[in-house]
Amino acid sequence: MTWSNGDGDAIQLGHGGGGRLSQQLIRELLLPALGTSDGVLHDAALLPAQPGRLAFTTDSYVVRPLIFPGGDIGRLAVLGSINDLAMAGAIPVALSLGLILEEGLPIATLNTVVASIQRAAVECGVAVVTGDTKVVERGKGDGLFINTSAVGRVDHNLCIHPPAVMAGDAVLVSGDLGRHGVAILAARDHLGFRTTLRSDLASLLPPVQALLAAGLELHCLRDLTRGGLASAIDEIATSAGWAIELQEPAIPVGAEVSGACQLLGLDPLAMANEGRMVVVLPQSQAEEALTLLRQVESSAAQIGTVLTAASPNNPWPVQLRSELGVLRPLDLGQGEQLPRIC
């Protein structure tokens, strides 16, 4: 469904003012696109009671450009929160949507993003049950910011979190690294390189559900986002209190990501991902898990092992073993990755 605005084709401050324009935006663009079933507008959504444990998560999304190869901010905002639920092994029940629009945002862009939110929600089997829209003055936002929160149901009895990690566990990654980061960098255009690479943005529900359905004893799951593999592994090791050793040659990086990273002097381990996760589970179950993960993404691989806690033999929380067999500490980078000449 598309919606056009009688007063122009861009968002105005009035669309957030609570008056007639706001009503029009909600009733004519958002509600129909998001398919609110009963059409009842109320301050709070009522959810059916769920048996057992609930999972609850929230995240805010900013990305430039809003629409990029392989996705857009809408799909990102839905899958981001759904993937956070998936990391607890939860199945989504309901989603909230907060939109902060910048004055001047083309209605056409909003239409595209909202349609994409709807498609992603359907794909994940969840509905947007409550939402909010605000408009900020031109120059006060990057076109469109989105916040989503998600509630999920937990059907298993595992505690999938860092304290469950044990020495000897296998560390897997669900696919090759860095596609999202490189696709975004190329789409921003200012560095002048071109690629057919698309973001890896994807729902992690199916692979996680497959692992759970196989009865695997998942110790920890962590989706890779802005800080890439490096920060995810560091967080797991640090909060679990064990050391992790990664085998550098085993870490899957595609030719294009590797080419772009070499060209710009960036580290593929620190590049952003939006559809990849780390799986930690007993080594004895690693092969079975990899077989399942490879049905979704053939590049899934075991990249390392959990060691005993940091000791003189394992001096760093996360260490990489190079091709030459020498250990070095994992580098977390300095936040924003900047292209280098040196």
- 127 interacts with other proteins by CB under 8 A: no
Q: What secondary structure, in 3-state letters, does 18-39 show?
A: CCHHHHHHHHHHHHHHHCCCCC
Quick one: 217 or 267, whose CB is closer to other proteins?
Answer: 267
The CA R_g of the chain, rounded to the nearest whole Å, is: 21
- CA 118 from chain centre, in angstroms, equals 17
Q: How many Cα atoms sit within 13 Å of 94 on the Cβ side?
A: 14
Give min distance, CB of 242 to other proteins, in A: 19
CA distances from 57 to 25, 143, 150 (A): 27, 24, 5
Query: To the nearest whole angstrom, how small is the minimum distance from the Cβ of residue 181 to other proteins?
Result: 13
Element (H, E) at 262: helix 255-264
CB atoms within 10 A of CB 253: 18
CB 326 to other proteins: min, Å: 2
Measured from the CB atom, is 262 or 308 closer to other proteins?
Answer: 262
Minimum distance of other proteins from residue 165's CB (angstroms): 23
Positions 168 through 227 that interact with other proteins (CB under 8 A): 182, 186, 190-197
7-26: contacts with other proteins (CB under 8 A): none
Counting residues that bind other proteins (by CB under 8 A) gives 39
Find the shortest distance in angstroms from Cβ 322 to other proteins: 5
Give residue 258's identity as a one-letter amino acid code: S
Q: Is residue 211 within 8 Å of residue 290, measured between CB atoms?
A: no
Residue 178 structure tokens = 């860095």
Footprint (CB under 8 A) of other proteins, residues 227-246: none
| CA proximity to 172, closest of 115, 116, 246 | 246
Instruction: Note whether 94 and 129 are within 8 A (CB).
Output: yes
Residue 133 vs 273, nearer CB to other proteins: 273
Beta bridge partners of 184: none
Residue 327, Cα to own-chain centre: how many angstroms? 30
Beta carbon of residue 190, minimum distance to other proteins (angstroms, whole number): 7
Interface with other proteins in residues 254-293 (CB under 8 A): 254-260, 262-265
250 binds other proteins, rule: CB under 8 A: no
Tell the smallest beta-carbon distance from residue 6 to other proteins (Å): 35
Q: Is 324 in the site for other proteins (CB under 8 A)?
A: yes
Q: Does 295 bind other proteins (CB under 8 A)?
A: no
Figure out which of the listed residues 8, 168, 241, 315 binds other proteins, where binding follows CB under 8 A: 315
- Binding residues for other proteins, rule: CB under 8 A, are 182, 186, 190-197, 254-260, 262-265, 315-316, 322-329, 331, 334, 336, 338-342
